[in-house]
């Protein structure tokens, strides 16, 4: 199979002497090539295999180590550890170190529980303190009943026990202690309930409440000190042994997989049988290795039966192989998108390679800004430095770099940088007029032929399509972009239909129907409607401007005829191959045929979302960055009128700039007063100092306004970039996963998961 489909698979059956089953399992793990099919236990004379004798001990150690790691904040090392030293630690001092650490963790749990109980007792003592009664006087009577708690209505509580003693202290809350005879306790309790009584639990102890509070405070201090010591020791332990612990867990997981491996195969009294799938390209390698431990190794390439493996309406039900993507390098990050939908059906087209081209194309068409694209690429690199050591993290970071590159390319085509249009424009008789963008953005015009004073266009009069360079999407090319996105939608949907046509012809649809006739009616109907619909729409719209044109009239007439033919084909396909009653098939065929139009028009979002993002950035640029008499630039000019410019202005703004410089230069400061080691306080302090310097020069209000406008503009730019990263991805993903892939995709494949080990922390032995 090629790169447009998934890997070809073969069925493996191997058998050997039961005494060598453990060796065979070890060979499978070393190969990491066989997707094992667990024995279901339904064959007479065969049972499930048994785990090795070491499995119980391995499981016990693994659970203990996992418990330890779950309670520590451990970070995976970014480079793989060697397995031999980790094995040495497992057999040496690591178990005792883990036991010590678990002891510390258990003691921390005890301390936290005691601190929690003490906090509850402290709250109760705080409420009891105004009563000025010893703890042993608040409970423990034989002939008396004591009610101690808070009340909402103190005046009513005063009269709740006429023949008893009522003590009330404090306001909001009012604390009450009522002592009455046992035989009147029910009546007193009812009266207290009317007063909004809430009982206070009486702590154990004797003597004054204040003395008990002092004891608790002293004990709390001891516990907190012990807790701090234990936590410090745990932090040191984690730093010194964390990587070893993670490596040990991974090795034990591998040992457990080997120990439990025999339960995945079928065994009889003297033999074992392995059943699974392998990549056809590795058949010889697998056969050679398993021949050392198995007496019989049978490998047969899987052959797809057209129409088989479907829902069982037609043809035999097949057990399809698991799905492994084709070996690829550049386009591999796009497998993340395919996996969002699920693996494709075996033998059918894998859309990953197509999305390698179309996904960045659509994303770049939407975002299309040099600065935002570069920021996206930097974000991808940032992710690479953080999670690039994992397979998923590496693919995700590459994916973001790809779409960032596309945004830079389209930003170059659009001539956009940070929401500014940086290229000169033609202005009638005045020739080329320079952009109003700032110099720090327009320097990029040097990367264009003739300094950006160019304009090339190519128009397809037949379809009213215009392509231009530069393409001013927020200028005179706006209508062209709308039409372009519709054409892109039509071509993209048509590509999906052609893929579906091929898949149904060769492998059948989800109902088990296969062959060229099925493909002709099932997908050919949609293709006919789409192409004929283009001719019909072009003729219809063109005749409004050129009534009577023969070519347009022919397009209109034949387009309408073939749209009707396509709808009839669709009705027949719904009746014949999807099992619908004829009246329903006729009605749905008409509705679904017309429903193809929204799928194509949905691609207009490529224009709408992009232009909306540009307008957000443009609004921030106009209102906050401003120009000669408005915004930030207007404030700078006003400051210049007061002789605050150049180095003087830089000196005034230096306190605000300094915190950012310290971060960029990674300067470590000694301990400063007022918490000035934190960036937030440094920035606030610098903001106030800059404003104060401005007031000293008589321009304090302007300085504050300048800083406010600058950081406001910066926030808008960051917001525009974040929105430009998230929103285009959402819409591009929707166009691919919904509008496009539904034309052909069946997400029914199982992931190919070969038995074996993938290095996460420790190299594979």
Percent of the chain with pLDDT over 70: 97
Check whether 458 has a pLDDT greater than 80.
Answer: yes
- Quick one: pLDDT at residue 691? 87
- Quick one: pLDDT at residue 308? 55
| CA separation for the pair 282, 491 (Å, rounded) | 38
| CA separation for the pair 423, 443 (Å, rounded) | 10
Q: Are 746 and 510 in contact (CB under 8 A)?
A: yes
Neighbours of 701 (CB within 10 A): 13
CA proximity to 64, closest of 3, 113, 106? 106
DSSP string, 521-583: HHTHHHHHHHHHHHHHHHHHHHHHHSTT-HHHHHHHHHHHHHHHHHHHHHHHHHHHHS---HH
Report pLDDT digits (tens) over 398-453: 999 999 999 999 999 999 999 999 998 877 666 788 888 888 888 999 999 988 88
Q: Using 50, 70 and 90 to split pLDDT, how confident is the model at 309?
A: very low
Mean local confidence (pLDDT), 471-479:
87
What is the rounded average pLDDT for all residues in the chain? 88
| CA separation for the pair 699, 691 (Å, rounded) | 9
Hey, what are 457's tokens?
């266009």
| CA separation for the pair 69, 246 (Å, rounded) | 7
Q: Using 50, 70 and 90 to split pLDDT, how confident is the model at 311?
A: very low
Q: Using 50, 70 and 90 to split pLDDT, how confident is the model at 1?
A: low
- Quick one: pLDDT at residue 373? 96
Report pLDDT digits (tens) over 112-168: 999 999 999 998 998 898 888 888 888 888 889 999 999 988 888 888 888 888 888
Q: Tell me the whole-structure pTM to 2 decimals.
A: 0.82
Q: Using 50, 70 and 90 to split pLDDT, how confident is the model at 312?
A: very low
Report pLDDT digits (tens) over 494-533: 999 999 999 999 888 877 788 899 999 989 999 999 999 9
Q: Which residues contact 142 (CB under 8 A, 6 or more apart)?
A: none
Report pLDDT digits (tens) over 34-54: 999 998 877 788 888 889 888
Mean local confidence (pLDDT), 463-470:
83
The domains found in the chain, sorted by start residue, are 1-49+265-327 (3.30.70.120), 53-114+213-263 (no CATH), 115-212 (3.30.70.2750), 615-726 (no CATH)
Backbone dihedral angles phi then psi of residue 350, each to the nearest 5 degrees:
-90, 120
Chain-centre distance of CA 329, in angstroms? 22
Report pLDDT digits (tens) over 237-254: 988 888 899 999 999 999
Mean local confidence (pLDDT), 10-30:
93
Q: Using 50, 70 and 90 to split pLDDT, how confident is the model at 313?
A: very low
CA proximity to 302, closest of 273, 277, 281, 275? 277
- Quick one: pLDDT at residue 155? 84
Q: Using 50, 70 and 90 to split pLDDT, how confident is the model at 315?
A: very low
């Amino acid at each position: 199979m090629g790169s447009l489909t998934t890997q070809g698979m073969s069925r493996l059956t191997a058998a050997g002497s039961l005494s060598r089953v453990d060796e065979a399992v070890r060979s499978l793990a070393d190969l990491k090539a066989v997707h094992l099919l667990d024995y279901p236990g339904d064959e007479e004379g065969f049972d499930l295999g048994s785990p090795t004798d070491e499995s119980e001990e391995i499981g016990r150690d693994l659970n203990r180590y996992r418990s330890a790691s779950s309670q520590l904040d451990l970070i995976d090392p970014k480079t793989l550890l060697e397995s031999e030293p980790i094995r040495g630690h497992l057999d040496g001092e690591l178990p005792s170190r883990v036991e010590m650490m678990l002891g510390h963790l258990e003691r921390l749990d005890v301390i936290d529980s005691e601190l929690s109980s003490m906090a509850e007792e402290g709250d109760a003592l705080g409420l009891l303190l105004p009563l000025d009664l010893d703890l042993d006087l608040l409970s423990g009577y034989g002939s008396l009943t004591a009610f101690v708690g808070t009340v909402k209505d103190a005046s009513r509580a005063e009269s709740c026990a006429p023949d008893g003693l009522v003590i009330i202290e404090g306001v909001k809350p009012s604390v009450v202690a009522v002592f009455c005879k046992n035989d009147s306790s029910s009546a007193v309790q009812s009266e207290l309930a009317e007063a909004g009584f809430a009982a206070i639990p009486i702590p154990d102890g004797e003597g004054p409440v204040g003395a008990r509070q002092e004891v608790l405070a002293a004990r709390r201090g001891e516990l907190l000190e012990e807790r701090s010591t234990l936590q410090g020791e745990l932090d040191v332990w984690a730093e010194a042994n964390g990587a070893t612990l993670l490596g040990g867990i991974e090795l034990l997981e591998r040992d457990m997989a080997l120990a439990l491996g025999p339960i995945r195969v079928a065994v009889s009294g003297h033999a074992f049988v392995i059943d699974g799938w392998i990549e056809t390209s590795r058949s010889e390698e697998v056969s050679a290795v398993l021949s050392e431990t198995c007496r019989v190794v049978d490998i047969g390439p899987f052959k797809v039966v057209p129409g088989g493996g479907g829902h069982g309406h037609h043809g035999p039900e097949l057990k399809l192989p698991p799905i492994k993507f084709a070996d690829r390098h550049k386009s591999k990050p796009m497998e993340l998108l395919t996996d969002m939908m699920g693996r494709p059906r075996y033998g059918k087209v894998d859309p990953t390679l197509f999305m390698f081209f179309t996904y960045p194309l659509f994303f770049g068409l939407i975002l299309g800004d040099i600065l935002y694209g570069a920021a996206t690429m930097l974000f991808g690199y940032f992710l690479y430095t953080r999670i690039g050591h994992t397979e998923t993290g590496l693919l995700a970071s590459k994916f973001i770099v790809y779409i960032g590159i596309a945004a830079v390319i389209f930003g170059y085509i659009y001539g956009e940088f940070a929401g500014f249009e940086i290229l000169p424009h033609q202005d009638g008789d005045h020739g080329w007029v320079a952009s109003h963008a700032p110099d720090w953005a327009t320097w990029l015009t040097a990367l264009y032929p003739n300094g950006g004073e160019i304009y090339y266009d190519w128009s397809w009069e037949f379809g009213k399509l215009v392509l231009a360079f530069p393409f001013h999407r927020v200028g005179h090319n706006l209508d062209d972009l709308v039409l372009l996105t519709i054409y892109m939608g039509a071509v993209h949907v048509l590509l999906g239909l052609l893929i579906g046509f091929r898949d149904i012809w060769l492998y059948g649809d989800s109902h088990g129907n296969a062959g060229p006739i099925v493909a002709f009616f099932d997908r050919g109907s949609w293709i006919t409607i789409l192409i004929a619909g283009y001719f019909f729409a072009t003729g219809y719209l063109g005749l409004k401007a050129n009534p009577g044109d023969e070519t347009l009239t022919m397009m209109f007439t034949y387009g309408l005829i073939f749209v009707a033919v396509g709808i009839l084909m669709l009705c027949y396909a719904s009746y014949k191959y999807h099992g619908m009653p004829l009246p329903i098939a006729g009605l749905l065929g008409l509705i679904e045929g017309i429903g193809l139009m929204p799928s194509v028009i949905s691609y207009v979002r490529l224009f709408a979302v992009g232009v909306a993002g540009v307008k957000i950035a443009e609004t921030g640029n106009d209102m906050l960055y401003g120009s000669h008499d408005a915004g930030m630039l207007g404030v700078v000019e006003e400051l210049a009128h007061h002789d605050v410019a150049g180095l003087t202005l830089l000196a005034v703004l230096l306190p605000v700039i300094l915190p950012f410089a310290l971060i960029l230069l990674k300067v470590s400061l000694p301990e400063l007063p007022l918490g000035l080691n934190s960036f937030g306080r440094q920035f606030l302090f610098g903001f106030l100092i800059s404003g104060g310097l401005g007031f000293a020069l008589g321009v304090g209000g302007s300085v504050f306004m300048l800083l406010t406008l600058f950081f406001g503009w910066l926030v808008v730019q960051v917001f525009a970039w974040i929105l430009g990263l998230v929103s285009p991805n959402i819409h591009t993903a929707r166009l691919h996963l919904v509008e496009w892939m539904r034309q052909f995709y069946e997400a029914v494949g199982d992931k190919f998961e070969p038995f074996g080990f993938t290095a996460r922390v420790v190299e594979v032995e």
